[in-house]
């Protein structure tokens, strides 16, 4: 599931945290919340940057998407990688 789908399902506090700490490691409890909201942490997901023992980092593209939301902009929708486009 793409960030556009799970983002609105996060608690406002969690969205605020991601906007204020954009680019930082995502805390474990927030990764769990993203997963519960439908975000599948996979190397195939465009919004996943690095995931491993050091934790989860969002991709640069996902951080840009969050910056746009934080600035009151409406980011362009993006299909998940590998999803049919027609």
Cβ–Cβ < 8 Å for 37, 66: no
Cβ–Cβ < 8 Å for 26, 18: yes
Cβ–Cβ < 8 Å for 52, 19: no
| pLDDT tens digit sequence for 30-59 | 999 999 999 988 888 888 898 777 789 999
| pLDDT tens digit sequence for 8-23 | 999 999 999 999 999 9
Q: Give dist(CA 26, CA 68) in Å, integer.
A: 18
* Enclosing H/E stretch for 36: helix 28-36
pTM summary value = 0.81
| pLDDT tens digit sequence for 66-81 | 999 999 999 887 765 4
């Amino acid at each position: 599931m793409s960030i556009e789908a799970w983002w609105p399902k996060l608690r406002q506090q969690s969205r605020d945290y991601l906007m204020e700490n954009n680019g930082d490691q995502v805390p474990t409890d927030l990764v769990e919340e993203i997963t519960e909201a439908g975000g599948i942490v996979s190397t195939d997901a465009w919004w996943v940057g690095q995931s491993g023992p050091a934790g989860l980092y969002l991709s640069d593209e996902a951080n840009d998407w969050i910056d746009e939301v934080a600035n009151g902009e409406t980011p362009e929708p993006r299909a998940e990688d590998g999803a049919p486009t027609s």
